[in-house]
Chains A and B, each alone.
Chain A
Amino acid sequence: MIRRPIEAVGRATLTFVAELGGIARFAAAVVRALLTPPVRARPFLNELFKLGVLSLVIICVSGLAVGMVLGLQGYNTLARFGAEQSLGAVVGLSLVRELGPVLTALLTTGRAGSATAAEIGTMVTTQQLDGLRMMSVDPIDFVVAPRALAMVAVMPLLGALFIVCGIFGGYFVGVHLMGLDGGVYLSSLENSIDFHDDVAQSLVKTVVFGALVGLIATWRGYASVPTSAGVSTATTSTVVVSSVTILLFDYVITSLWGV
């Protein structure tokens, strides 16, 4: 009776460890492919377009909306203590340290990570990857590596855009709607945010998140079962696994930064 659940736990653990090993070997193969010639500039640029340019609108709109909400909530809370002058600091710090990197990574996972997993999964299903292998081209080098690298490259840029949009959203609410002085908002922002403590942390987070999402999305697509159900599983699990991993690593990086 009692053996069943224990067996299930054991099997789940084994599966998890095997999965971890699989993704580690995959990551090593991707890094090796990136470090050895040939350099795949054309696929990389195409991925920059798909992952970056096409995510631009959702990132900017979300950033603006989040900044405006932060401005509104922050202003009302701060006004109780007569500290409206610190609105810039509140909006800026929360955006730069946490909300910017995390929300950007989550949005990009949904927008671009899922698309990448589905695309590679479809290539597996239609034997395009086997086709590449038979042409003596390593699919990790040609298909996976440019996508993973593009995700790493795109994430800090999208994160910075998200934060800037958010800061302007907060500025709009605080200054234009609530009547705060624009100079007060900006000086509070500039005085509270430090490059090393905040901006660099934000940058490191986005790069790490980019690597995680890039790796998980391509791995899920690459290892997907060659059926339409397999592709859909790959897409879903990319979003789920990436989101959880992002939040986990966010905590780890924040605590390691010691701020």
Chain B
Amino acid sequence: MRTSPIRDFLVGCFVLIGLGALAWLSLSVGGLSLGSSHGLVLYANFTQIAGLKPRAPVVIAGVKVGDVESITLGKQYAARVRMVVEPTLELPIDTSASIVTAGLLGDRYVELQPGGDAQLLRSGEEIGFTEPAMQLERLIGKFIHQTDVGGGSGEKGADEKGKE
């Protein structure tokens, strides 16, 4: 093989372009964070998450501030959601979290409602006030049930608000 600097240069270009494409796919599209959990880690327990998935956005006033990292089953059969939000965020300790739906049938995400306390949440702490996901299908079921029976049981089985 006649050694050719142009050839080597082209190989170098190829490797760079390929690695660039891989990096873009991994970091930007795939959302891989180098140095994981590099942010404020918060936990929240919900009695019902109804289709909230890892990587769902966490928003305040409609602005995305972080992601749901993982969801596990916690104490008393509650869903324990681990979220990572921007480290610079200053959230009062009485902040509440609720699971809401984008539109009627859209994806679910976590909405944070900052409170007014002077004390701030630190990384790894738990959000005390939570509101579970509204389940449209259950609501509809209840509605049909009510109209059929006519009055009746009311909202006995409504999800309790927040954690005990």
Contacts and interface: CB of A to CB of B under 8 A. Distances in A.
Let me know if chains A and B touch directly in the complex, using CB atoms closer than 8 Å: yes
Interface of A: 42-43, 45-46, 48-49, 52-53, 56, 92, 96, 156-158, 160-161, 163-164, 167, 189-191, 193-195, 198-200, 202-203
A191 B55 contact: yes
B10 A190 contact: no
B1 A199 contact: no
Contacts of B13: 53
Interface of B: 1, 3, 7-8, 10-11, 13-15, 17-19, 21-22, 24-26, 28-32, 54-55, 57, 107
Nearest to A60: B17
B18 A158 contact: yes
B21 A45 contact: no
Given A163-B21, A193-B31, A199-B30, A49 B7 contact: yes
Which residue of B11, B17, B18 has the most chain A CB atoms within 10 A of its CB atom? B18
Given A42-B1, A157-B21, A52 B29 contact: no
18 contacts: A42-B3, A48-B11, A48-B14, A49-B7, A49-B14, A53-B13, A56-B14, A157-B19, A158-B18, A163-B21, A164-B21, A167-B29, A190-B28, A190-B31, A191-B55, A193-B29, A198-B30, A199-B29
Contacts of A161: 17-18, 21
What DSSP secondary structure best describes chain A's contact surface? helix
B18 A157 contact: yes
Nearest to A48: B11
Given A48-B14, A161-B17, A195 B24 contact: no
A48 B17 contact: no
Contacts of B28: 190
Contacts of B7: 46, 49
A165 to B, nearest CB: 8
A195 B55 CA distance: 10
Contact of A157 (B8, B14, B31, B54): B14
A45 B24 contact: no
Given A53-B13, A161-B18, 7 more contacts: A52-B15, A53-B10, A92-B29, A190-B28, A191-B57, A195-B30, A198-B30
B31 A194 contact: yes
